[in-house]
Amino acid sequence: MRLANKVALITGGSSGIGKETALLFAKEGAKVVVSDVNDAEGRTVVAQIIENGGEAAYIRADVSKADDCAKMVDFAEQTFGKLNVLFNNAGIMHSDDDNAVTTEEHIWDLTMNINAKGVFLGCKYGIPALKRAGGGSIINTASFVAILGAATPQIAYTASKGAVLALTRELAVIHAREGIRVNALCPGPLKTELLMSFLNTEEKKQRRLVHVPMGRFGEALEIAYASLFLASDESSFVTGTDFMVDGGITSAYVTPL
C-alpha cells in the first residue's frame, strides 16, 4: 500500500476530487480525516471508507475561519496520533463570478476567503503538525486557469487559484529542508458538479472543451491518482511544482517566449 501508516487530512472531502481522493487514500492504507461543511455527505464518505475496511473520521470545518482550521488539524492529531499529508482541496466556483466589471465585491471576497485564505490557514496550522510528524506532504488544489486564464470569465476563481500557486511555491522553498514538500495540483476541466454547475449550458461546455486536446472533461478519480503520487514517498524529490493534470490544455496554449 502506497500510504501505509500515513494520516491524511482532506478538506472539501465530501464530493468531487476530495471524495475520490479520500476513498483512494484509504484504499492505499492511509487513515483519513475528511473535512467539509456538508456534514451528511462528509459522514457518508467516512462511512464508505469504514465499510471497506479503512479508517476515517469526519470533522466539520469552514476553511475560511482560522479556528476551524486549527481544530481540524488538532482533530487529526488527536484521532490518529499524527498528520503526514495535508490536502488543501476545499474550494468554490460561484455562478455569479464573471469579469471584473460585473462581479460583485462580495463574490470576490467569498471566493478568495475559501480558495486562497483557506489554503493559507490550512498551511498555517498544518505545517506545525507535519513538523511534529517528522515531515510530510502538502497538496494545494489550484487550477489550469491560474496559468492560462479562463475562456469563460471567472475572475475571482482564477485570481484565487493564482494565489494558491504563488503561496505553494514560496512555502515549498521555505520548508524544503524540513522534510515538508508543498505542491500545487492543477486540474484541467473536470466532469464534476462544481464545474458542470458553472458551465451550465452546452455552449459554455463546448467553449471549454474545444481547448482540450484530449477532447473530454477529466474525471475526479484521475485527479485523485495524481494526488496519491504527490502524497506518497514516490514523489520524495518533488516540491514547488505546478502539477498539471489537464488533458494537454496547457501544452496546447502555453508557449515559451
Residues 36-52 pLDDT 10s:
999 999 999 999 999 99
How confident is residue 199, by pLDDT bands cut at 50, 70 and 90?
confident
Q: Tell me: the pLDDT tens digits for 164-192? A: 999 999 999 999 999 999 999 999 888 87
| Closest alpha carbon to 167 in 127, 194, 135 | 127
Return the domain boundaries, the chain. Answer: 7-189+219-242
Helix (H, G, I), strand (E, B) or coil at 114: helix
Alpha helices (H) in 28-142, listed in sequence order: 39-51, 66-80, 105-112, 118-132
Q: Has 157 been annotated as catalytic?
A: yes
The per-residue pLDDT for 201 is: 75
Superfamily (CATH) of domain 7-189+219-242: NAD(P)-binding Rossmann-like Domain (3.40.50.720)
Instruction: Supply the mean pLDDT for the chain.
Output: 93
How confident is residue 76, by pLDDT bands cut at 50, 70 and 90?
very high
DSSP assignment string, 125-170 = HHHHHHHHTT-EEEEEE--THHHH--SS--HHHHHHHHHHHHHHHH
| Closest alpha carbon to 182 in 133, 243, 226, 129 | 243
The per-residue pLDDT for 133 is: 98
How confident is residue 212, by pLDDT bands cut at 50, 70 and 90?
confident
Of 58, 157, 225, 253, which is the active-site residue?
157
Q: What span, in angstroms and rounded, lies between the C-alpha atoms of 117 and 144?
A: 19
Least-confidence region, from 47-61, 155-169, 174-188, 202-216: 202-216
Residues in the chain: 257
Bigger pLDDT: 257 or 147?
147
The per-residue pLDDT for 173 is: 98
The per-residue pLDDT for 257 is: 47
